[in-house]
Amino acid sequence: MDETHRFREAVAMQIDWVYVLITERHRPHTTWKIRQAAFFAFMHFCFLMVFLGHFVHNIVTWVLAFLLQVAALLLSIFHISSVTDYADKMNNAMELEQQLNPLIIAELSIRCFALLHCLLMGGWLMGIAGLLELAYDYWIFRRGDFLVDATTAWKKLGALEMDSRVRLAYQGVMLIASIFSFIHFLVSM
């Protein structure tokens, strides 16, 4: 299975929550599938709340931008913990693929939505910084290391660990930048 096909499948996972939780909820689904569907449903609900909060007040907009960045940082922490756990135990690459690919797509979705949110609220500097992660994701995608493949996970373990560290460091820097942007906004009011 090539990288593009895995990417399409991972993006389709974001919409699976409609089938799992709403239209086909009477059918049996695995616990993992239900949790994953609930995660993506909650993520889309949060996107909607952030978007609607944008029209409430400027302070609400900046607080929600900060919370969106905290969510991205938490996803990066889950990402690095999954990779580290796999590196320590080396027990099931398929489980690593099932855990990481939805997290990677969720991180990409959060960054795209955060970029849109920054552009709507006029945070051009944060928007440009958000483009850096998208450029990094594109570069990783072109190298073929964007999504985890269970058959080659053990060979690419070093790249997975480095990628998770880069993502965590970037999200930490973005969290600090969002705090400073929020403080700058409050001072300039």
Amino acid 176: pLDDT = 92
Specify the number of domains making up the chain: 1
pLDDT digits (tens, 9 = 90+) for 40-59: 888 888 888 888 888 888 88
If we measure between CA atoms, which residue out of 113, 178, 151 comes closest to residue 3? 151
Interatomic CA distance for residues 120 and 55, integer angstroms: 10
Written as six digits, the tokens of 9 are 């499948």
Query: What residue numbers bound the domain in which 174 lies?
Result: 43-188
Range list of H helices, the chain: 3-13, 16-18, 31-53, 58-89, 93-121, 124-143, 157-188
Residue 26 maps to a domain: no
The dihedral over CA atoms of 56, 60, 62, 65, expressed in degrees to the nearest 10, equals: -90
Mean pLDDT of 23-36: 78
* Placement of tokens 């991180």 in the chain: 107
Written as six digits, the tokens of 139 are 């570069």
pLDDT digits (tens, 9 = 90+) for 128-148: 888 888 888 888 877 777 778
Residue 48 maps to a domain: yes
